[in-house]
Amino acid sequence: MFYRPSYLSNVEKKAVLSRFWEKDPSLWAKAPEVQKQITDRLGWLDVIPKMREAKGDIVDFAQDIKQRGIKQIVLLGMGGSSLCPLVLSQIFGSQEGFPALKVLDTTDPDEIENVVQNKDWNSTLFLMASKSGTTLEPNAMFNYFWPLMENGLSDPGSHFVAITDPGTPLEKLGNERGFLKIFLNPTDIGGRYSAISYFGLVPAALLGIDIGRILQRAEEMVNKCGPNIPCDINPGYKLGEFLGEFGVQGRDKLTILADLPIKAFGLWLEQLVAESTGKETRGLVPIIGESTGIPGFYGGERIFVYLRVKGTPEKDSLEGFVSELREAQFPVYELWLEDLYDLGAQFFLWEMATALASHFLAVNPFDEPDVRRSKEKTGAILDVYRAEGKMPIKFWVDPYSQLHFRTSEMLAVSMKSLSRAMRDMFHVLPTWGYLAFLPYLPYDPEMEAMVGEMRYFVRQEKGCATTMGYGPRYLHSTGQIYKGGPTSAAFLIFTRKRAKDYPVIPDFGVSFWHIQFAQAVGDFEAISDARFRAIHVHLPPDYRLGLRNFSKVLSRSVRMK
C-alpha cells in the first residue's frame, strides 16, 4: 500500500533506509517470485568496487582504440544501453584526440543512411550494447551494417565491440564473428540502473572522459547516502522522500530543470523515473525540454527539480525563473553539481531516490510490465507485411488539411475530421493531465523547435503539461509510464510516408522504414487498447511541411467549443 513518507517517524524512516541497503526485496513486493526477480536486479548498489577493478582494462582498451586511428564510434543500442552514453556525449563531448561518439538508438532510415554515407569504415568502430542481446533495433542494425563492413574490410569483426550479459545471443554472435572485445556486465543490474557499469563507463572512456573521477564522485555519493547517515541529511533518502511525498498526493508531473551545461541529463533521467515508477496507474511523469513560462500557467500537479552547476554564467542559468516558482509556492528541490564530473554522483543519487520513491508509491521499480504489448503488436504487424506485402493500416484523410490520420477507440466517433478529433481530445484532457508528442521521425532540431512551439501553446491554452519523445527511443524510456502510469494522458503519434524505397535488412525481410512504422502502429494500438485517447498522424514525405500544417489544425482545435 502506498503511503506518504512524511507520516513516518524517524525510527520508521531509519528502518526503510536500513532495509534498502540490506537489499530487502519486500520493500517493493510481497510475492516470493517477484522478490526473487527484484533481488536479481539490485547489483547497482555495490557495482562500484567491481568497476574500479575493471577500470584499468577499460582505459587501456580506450587508449588502444584511439591509437588505432578510430575517428567515429557508432553505438547500437536502446534505452538503458544507450541513454547514459548519449548524455555523456552531449555533455562532455569527445576529448582531444579521442573519437566522436554517435548514438544510434533509432530505426529511422534517414539516420541509418547518415552513418552509411560516412563510408570511412577503416576509422569506424561499432559498439553493440544490449543487456539481453535480443533487442530488435541493435540486432537489425548489426544485420544491416555487417555486410557493408564485410565488403569494405578484410577483418570486419575487429571493428565491432559488444557490451552484454554473460550467455546472451550477443555474446555468442561476438565470439562467432570475431569481435574485437566483449565486455560482460554483471547480470544483476537492469538496463536503466546500469550507468555506473560497463554500459556507461566503456563509452565514457572511449570519449576520453576520466572514468576514475566518475567512479570517485559516485562512490562519494554512496558514502553520503549510506545506512548510517541520518535520513534528514541523507541525499538519497531526502530526494526519494521528496518524490514519494508529492507523487503519493497526485502531484506527479516531475518537471526537470537544468542549467545549460547539463541540460541533456534529462534524457537519462526521464527513462529511470518513468520506467521505474510508471505502473498500476501511478507514477511520476518526467517533464523535460519544456520552455519556461509564467508560473501562473503551471498546474498544481507540478513539482520541480533544479540541477545546477557551480560557475554557470547567468545567461545559461535558470535561477531567476526558479525564484519565481518558489514565490508562487511550487515545490522545488535544488541539486548542486561542483562540475560536470559530479554526474557520477547524480547517477547513483537518482537511482537510489527513484527506488525509494517507488517504495512509497508501492510499485516495483525493476520491471516494465506494459512494454511487452507494443513489442508483440509490432511483431504481428511486420508478420502481416511479410506475408501480404502491405501494412494492415488504413487512414482517414482530413478534408481541410489533407493530413492522413487515425484515432484510438476512445475517439472513434471523431474519425472523419482531424480538427474534430483534436477538439474532442482536448475537451476531456484535464489541466492536471499531459499530452505526449511522439514523432517517429529523424533527429531534427528544426522539427523539435516546431514541436516545442506546439507544446508551449498547449500549456498556455489548456494549462496541462506536455512531453516529447522520439520513436522508437521512447518505447525503451517513457513508454512504460505512457501505458501503465496515470490515466490522465493523451497522445499524438507522428509517422511519415516513404520518400523512396529503402534497402531491405538482411534476414529481416523489411526495411528500417517498415520497422519504424510498425513500431509506431504497434504502440498506437497498445495505447488504444489501454483506453487512452490517441491520434496517429501520417505526415507526407516532407514531414516539416506536414507538421506546420498540423500545428495550424492544433491551434484551431484547442480553441474550438
The residue written with cell numbers 544510434 in the block is 104
Distance CA 546, CA 479 (A): 25
**Residue 490: beta bridge partners?**
435, 533
Contact (CB, 8 A) for 75 and 219: no
Per-residue pLDDT, 492: 98
Closest alpha carbon to 195 in 288, 287, 82, 335: 82
Nearest to 301 by CA among 489, 453, 431, 151: 431
- Which residues of 298-365 form beta strands (DSSP E)? 302-309, 332-337
- As a whole number of angstroms, the distance between CA 200 and CA 367 comes to 20
As a whole number of angstroms, the distance between CA 292 and CA 318 comes to: 9
Q: State which residues of the chain have pLDDT below 70.
A: 412-415, 561
| Helices and strands in the chain: count of H runs, count of E runs | 19, 15
Q: What is the DSSP letter of 504?
A: P
* Rounded Cα distance, 305 and 282, in Å: 19
pTM higher than 0.75 for the full model?
A: yes
Q: Which three three-digit cell numbers place residue 102? A: 554517435
Those residues with Cβ within 8 angstroms of residue 230's Cβ, 6 or more apart along the chain or in another chain: 14
- Scanning the structure block, which residue is given the C-alpha cell 545549460? 260
Q: Closest Cα to residue 238, out of 352, 336, 326?
A: 352
Does an H or E element contain 102, and which? strand 100-104
Burial of 497 (0-12, 13-18, 19+ CB in 10 A): middle
Q: What is the CB-side half-sphere exposure of residue 198 using CA atoms within 13 A?
A: 26
SS3 342: helix
The helix or strand, by DSSP H or E, that contains position 419, with its residue range, turns out to be helix 418-428
| Contact between 129 and 138 (Cβ < 8 Å) | yes
**Separation of alpha carbons 26 and 155, rounded Å:** 50
Starting from the edge strand earliest in sequence, which strands make up the sheet with 396-397, in order?
396-397, 404-407, 533-539, 489-496, 434-439, 465-468
Q: What is the pLDDT of residue 169?
A: 98
Q: 3-state DSSP call for residue 72?
A: strand
Q: What is the pLDDT of residue 297?
A: 87
Question: Measuring CA to CA, which residue among 537, 267, 274, 524 is closest to residue 401?
Answer: 537
pLDDT per position as a tens digit, 377-419: 999 999 999 999 999 999 999 999 999 999 999 886 655 789 9
All domains in the chain, ordered by first residue? 5-26+225-361 (3.40.50.10490), 45-209 (3.40.50.10490), 372-558 (3.40.50.10490)
Q: How many residues does the chain have?
A: 561
Q: Residue 199's closest CA among 66, 121, 88, 115? A: 88
263-284: burial string, b at 16+ Cβ within 10 Å, e else: bbbbbbbbbbbbbbbbbeebbb
Return the pLDDT at 1: 80
Q: What is the pLDDT of residue 414?
A: 56
Residue 534: phi, psi to the nearest 5? -150, 150
pLDDT at 500: 94
8-state DSSP, 26: G
As a whole number of angstroms, the distance between CA 516 and CA 442 comes to 11
CA distance 196 to 45: 10
**What is the phi/psi pair of residue 237, to 5°?**
-65, -45
